[in-house]
Amino acid sequence: MAPRQVSIALTNVCDLHCRYCYAPKHNASLHTDQVLGWLKELDTGGCLGVGFGGGEPTLHPDFIDICKRVAQETQLAVTFTTHGHRLTPQLVERLKGSIHFARVSVDGVARTYEEQRGKQFSSLLRGIESVATLSPFGLNVVVNERTIGELDAISELAQKAGASELLLLPQRATTVVASVDAAVGLALRDWVVNYSGEVRLAVSEVGASGLPICDPLPEEQGLQAYAHIDASSMLRASSYSPAGIKIGDAGVLAVLERLRSTLEIQGEKQS
Ligand code: SF4
3-state secondary structure 67-85: HHHHHHHCCCEEEEEECCC
What was the pLDDT predicted at 151?
A: 98
Q: Is the CB of 23 under 6 A from ligand 1?
A: yes
Threshold 0.85, pTM exceeds:
yes
| Rounded Cα gap, residues 142 and 244, in angstroms | 25
Q: Is the CB of 172 under 6 A from ligand 1?
A: no
CATH number of the domain within which 163 lies? 3.20.20.70
CA distances from 179 to 174, 202, 222 (A): 8, 19, 22
What was the pLDDT predicted at 271?
A: 64
What was the pLDDT predicted at 244?
A: 93
- Determine which residue's CA is closest to atom 3 belonging to ligand 1: 55
**H/E stretch holding 135:** none
Ligand 1 midpoint to CA 113 (Å) = 13
pLDDT at position 270 over 80: no
Mean pLDDT across the stretch 183-202? 96
Mean pLDDT across the stretch 218-223? 89
From 7, 11, 15, 16, mutation site for ligand 1 pocket: most ligand atoms within 8 A of C-beta:
16
Among 140, 194, 192, 129, smallest CA distance to 162 is for: 129
Supply the range of the domain harboring residue 50. 5-270
Ligand 1 midpoint to CA 16 (Å) = 6
Mean pLDDT across the stretch 119-139? 97
- Determine which residue's CA is closest to atom 8 belonging to ligand 1: 21
Ligand 1 midpoint to CA 241 (Å) = 18
Domain count, the chain: 1
What was the pLDDT predicted at 1?
A: 87
**H/E stretch holding 149:** none
| Rounded Cα gap, residues 119 and 221, in angstroms | 38
| Rounded Cα gap, residues 114 and 94, in angstroms | 28
Ligand 1 midpoint to CA 28 (Å) = 15
Contact 187, 148 (CB under 8 A): yes
| Mean pLDDT for all residues in the chain | 95
Q: Is the CB of 14 under 6 A from ligand 1?
A: yes
What was the pLDDT predicted at 218?
A: 86
What was the pLDDT predicted at 233?
A: 97
CA distances from 187 to 15, 151, 180, 210 (A): 32, 11, 11, 11
Q: Is it true that the peptide bond before 84 is cis, omega within 30 degrees of 0?
A: no
